[in-house]
Amino acid sequence: MLEATTTEFTKNFGRYREAVQREPIAVMNHGRPTAYLVSASEYEQYQRLMQLARQSFATKDLSAEQIDAIAKGRMSPEHDHLNALLDPK
């Protein structure tokens, strides 16, 4: 990832606008990042991912088929050791 001071970024915006098509740029102030510049396509991808992360469903809104599919779901045997964490002793 490229880094640029705030002053350098301001003075050379055109250069960084082109460079961001290849990789993100951290805009630094006193040695700490204060902003990141990313390409439009990366930002749009980020927005799509954030939208997916926000999706949740109330169990009352699930169909009978969805409930049945969840009930029939089984964890891979490689995770059986995690069941011991749920068993009361």
For the chain, what percent of residues have pLDDT higher than 90? 61
Q: How far apart are alpha carbons 26 and 70 in whole angstroms?
A: 43
Q: How far apart are alpha carbons 25 and 44 in whole angstroms?
A: 16
pLDDT band at 83 (very low <50, low <70, confident <90, very high): confident
Which pLDDT tens digit goes with each residue over 47-64?
999 988 777 778 888 899
Domains of the chain: 2-73 (3.40.1620.10)
With a cut of 80, say whether residue 10 has pLDDT above it: yes
With a cut of 70, say whether residue 89 has pLDDT above it: no
Q: How far apart are alpha carbons 65 and 69 in whole angstroms?
A: 6
Average pLDDT over residues 29-56: 91
The structure's pTM equals 0.57
Average pLDDT over residues 27-33: 96
Average pLDDT, the chain: 90
Do residues 21 and 45 make contact, with C-beta atoms less than 8 angstroms apart?
A: no
